[in-house]
Every structure is written in structure tokens, then in C-alpha cells.
Amino acid sequence: MLSRYEHALEALNRRARLRALEGRAGIDFTSNDYLGLAESDALKAALVEALQRGVPVGAGGSRLLRGNHPEHEALEEEAKAFFGAESALYFGAGFAANAALISTLPQRGDLVLYDALVHASTHEGLGLTKATTESFAHNDVTQLEEKLRAFRASQAEARCFIAVESLYSMDGDLAPLTEIATLATRYDAILMVDEAHATGVQGPLGRGLAAHLEGQPNLISLHTCGKALGVSGALILMPEILRRFMINRSRSFIYATAPSPLMAAGVRAALKLCASADDRRATLQARITQLDAHVQKLGLPVTGTQIQPIVLGADRRALDMAQALARQGFDIRAIRPPTVPEGTARLRITLSASLAPAQVDALGAALTHLMQDQAA
């Protein structure tokens, strides 16, 4: 009965694609804790304070039942003020929030145009929506406009949605948001921006790369709380009418137990820390500049962001390189298809403000030696 699963796992292993859970070991060059807040004393103190004033750990039910807690509502009010949006809605996880957006708002007869490299959570929603869906080449504004023009020529009244990330999680590059936002306005489309890896790091006070667009009626932005903010969950920023629609129609919201009120209190504290974290962002930028210098010496392209892929091509090569780095005390994971396109297996290096300069230099030296050994 279970043999088919065993065979599937064996096939993955033969292709160097078998995954397994691993413990934490080595210097962290793989997590998304970009500001170093996840283990900070400030966040720990905020959660202790919340417990002391009686904030419960569990919600006890969905938010449409008894699970709606004042901490959820306070967080959403503070989030919309911080990001400059008309409303905010808190979900327990970024994956669920992104999938809920795509599966709920676009309707039959609508069109969702999405960047070819959007996150798996967006693809989850794309698989559930009744709207028509089409991809456009990564960051290709020209192709996006061609598809928008063709749709509007045949469907003048239907809704169109554009789904992009602001900072791409596997490539570390930025979307041309200003140009895409201009097209969204020109063709009467709703722009959905996943800010997961930009939140806390990019934009004024860490408000993200779409901060200059926030508050516009055709913008929806998603800010995950489990990366640079160091906690968990996700905030969707959107016009109030769409928030009300999500509350009434999103199955992921209606039928899920509400996020922990204690964690909502933690996110409130994280947003305050984020607003005053320019020093951490400056430190992170210094580590980015430092790693860029090492990567350039290897003759590889740099991203200029806290996410630096080292594309190696073959799955086995990426896995072997990650294991070699682990033996030297660095925690860097091999990213293989289907997470990334075929033939682009890579090391995904991420940087944090908590890293010391000597640790980045040590990684640069280790990478140089390993790449030289493989080339020999």
C-alpha cells in the first residue's frame, strides 16, 4: 500500500532531491532573520510583558467565532498606520495569506498575470482560483504590458490582477515596481505585491519597496512577520472594502483558528522595533557590501541585497557544496528544483545584521577555495 511513496522517495534520492529535516548547526547564512530580531532580548521582553498582562497563548477559535482578540485588532490598527494603508488583516502564516489572496479576490472571468518566479504560496492560490491565470517572463515589463493590452482589448470590464514579489526570495533581485505600478494604473489592474523579503529591510523605516505606493486603491501588499520582523504570521494591507470581502469569503481566514494573540502582541512589538532599526539596517547593508566584494572576485553576479544565490546548475553539485560548507561550520542550504527552475540548483546565502564581519570574510574565503577546487 505504501510502496509507491517509498519508490517516489527513492527516485528523489537518486536525483539528489531528497529533503530531510536538519537541526541548527553552524553560522547562520540560511535563515530569513535579516535584522537579527528573532532571538533578541527586546522581543522576548515584549512577549513576557504580554503574558504578564494576561494575553492568552491560544485564540480558542476562528476570528469570526470567539477567536477575535483585542491584540489582533490593535495589531491591525498599528500596522495600517505604520505602513500607510487603509486597512490590515492578520493571518497566521505568510503562505496561507498569499494563497488566500489569490484564491479569494480574483473571480471567474478575471485575469491574474503573475511573474514567472513568484513564490509557491502564490502558485497555491493560482491552483485554487476560478480566474484565468497567465505568467509573464521574470521582471519583463514589456511582456506584461503586451498581456495587459490584449486582455483589455477583449475584456474591457473584467478585473485584472498583477502578482509580483518586491524582492525575490531565491534570486535576491528587485521587481521594477514603479514601472509595474504605472501599468497597473494605465490598464485598470490591481497590483498585488508580496513584500515578504523586503519588509523590515527595504524602504523608509523598513516599510518595504512598495511603501511609496501604499494607500493607492489598486494596491494590495503582503508583509510576512516571520522573516526580518522575527516573529510569525502575515499582514495583508489593502483597501477596507477588500478586507471586508476577505473576512466574508476567504476560506483560509473563516475556517482557521485565529493566530495566537500572544504572537499578535509580538508582532506589535516587532513593528515598533522595526521603526527604530536604522542601525540594524545599516549593519546589514555593510554585511551585504562585504559579501558582494567576495562574490565579485569569484566572477559571479551580485544582487546588492541580503539574498545572494550562487547558481551551480547541477543538483548534486549544489548539495555537495552545501555539505562541504557545513563541515567548515557554515549553515547554507542547497536549493534545488522544483523550488527553482531546472538546471539552476544553487546555494542560497542570506545575511543578517547579527553576523560579524569576520564571519562574512570567513565564508568568502571558504567559497573561494571550494570554487577553485571544483574548477581544478
pLDDT tens for 188-207 read 999 999 999 999 999 999 99
Instruction: Note if 32 is an active site residue.
Output: yes
Burial of 52 (0-12, 13-18, 19+ CB in 10 A): exposed
Among 28, 115, 194, 214, the active-site one is 194
Cell 479569494 sits at which residue? 104
Burial class (CB in 10 A: 0-12, 13-18, 19+), 138: middle
Active site residue 227: yes
Question: Is the confidence at residue 1, as pLDDT, over 90?
Answer: no
Alpha-helix residue ranges (DSSP H) falling in 29-186: 41-52, 70-83, 94-104, 120-128, 141-154, 177-186
**Residue 311 binned pLDDT confidence (cut-offs 50, 70, 90):** very high
Residue with cell 503574558: 51
Mean pLDDT score of the chain: 95
* pTM metric for this prediction: 0.94
Is the model's pLDDT at 164 over the cut of 70?
A: yes
Decide if pLDDT at 149 tops 90.
yes
| Percentage of the chain lying above the pLDDT 90 cut | 93
Which of 279, 306, 282 minimizes the C-alpha distance to 292?
306
Catalytic option among 71, 110, 115, 165: 165
> In the chain, what are the domains?
41-275 (3.40.640.10), 278-375 (3.90.1150.10)
Pick the catalytic residue: 197, 214, 221, 352? 197
Task: Return the C-alpha cell found at 5.
Answer: 511513496
**Which of the four pLDDT bands, split at 50, 70 and 90, describes residue 157?**
confident
2-30: b (≥16 Cβ within 10 Å) or e: eeeeeeeeeeeeeebbeeeeeeeeebbbb
- Of these residues, 166, 169, 250, 252, which one is catalytic? 169
CB 122 within 8 A of CB 98: yes
* From 72, 123, 223, 227, active-site residue: 227
Q: Is 110 a catalytic residue?
A: no
Residues 6+ apart with CB under 8 A from 374: 317, 321
Please compute, for residue 294, the number of CA atoms within 13 A of its CA located in the half-sphere on the CB side: 22
pLDDT value of position 375: 65
How many angstroms separate the Cα of 42 from the Cα of each of 49, 91, 273?
A: 11, 23, 8
Please give the grid coordinates belonging to residue 244: 471586508
Q: Which helix (H) or strand (E) holds 132?
A: strand 132-136
Residue 131 pLDDT > 80, yes or no? Answer: yes
Q: How confident is the model at residue 373 (pLDDT cuts 50, 70, 90)?
A: confident
Whether 80 sits among the annotated catalytic residues: the reply is no
Residue 161, beta-bridge partner list:
112, 190
Amino acid 155 reads: Q
Residue 376: its pLDDT value, please? 57
Q: What is the CA radius of gyration of the chain?
A: 21
**pLDDT tens per residue across span 66-120:** 999 999 999 999 999 999 999 999 999 999 999 999 999 999 999 999 999 999 9
| CA-to-CA separations, 350 to 62, 90, 104, 295, 310, in angstroms, rounded | 35, 26, 32, 13, 11
Candidates 28, 32, 223, 315; catalytic one:
32
Backbone φ and ψ for 281, nearest 5 degrees, come out as -65, -35
Q: Which of 119, 123, 147, 223 is catalytic?
A: 119
In this prediction, residue 142 carries a pLDDT of: 98
Catalytic (active site) residue 7: no
Q: How crowded is the C-beta side of 327, counted as CA atoms within 13 Å?
A: 7
**What span, in angstroms and rounded, lies between the C-alpha atoms of 127 and 98?**
12
